[in-house]
Amino acid sequence: MLAHDYDARGRDVLVQFPVGTLGDVLAWFPYAARFAGEHRCRLTCTMSALIIPLLRDAYPDIRFVPHEAVEPDRFYATYSLGLFFDDADAVPDLEPGHSRRRRSLTQVVESGSPPTSNSVTSRSVPLRGT
């Protein structure tokens, strides 16, 4: 039997976000950021290169890389966030909403805040025909 005391403090940890979706990344990201703070690890997040500019400047302590740039052997721990409906053991209790599942998978308390982005600004967008 293998026993291991998890201690990510000061170590490289990878969180892999799903490709091809913006909503899932924005929903899961606050949990990854909170995880990094609570465990005091050096967090790297992989996601679509199109999404990275939305988050990178607002989270200077988190390293963002596209999936194809990951060097998997450098990480102490790796987490793949998403729902895998073909794996009954991974998702034993489907309930309405996913916030409790995100919280339990990342072992952090509810963050209660959306991700911060320095790339998104308020502006009015003219509607066609007006």
Residues assigned a catalytic role: 24
DSSP type of residue 16: E
Which helix or strand (DSSP H or E) is residue 80 part of?
A: strand 77-80
Q: What is the rounded distance in angstroms from the CA atom of residue 6 to the CA atom of residue 26?
A: 27
Q: Which two tokens stand for residue 53?
A: 């500019």
Whole-number Å distance between alpha carbons of 53 and 57: 7
Two structure tokens written together for 26: 């924005």
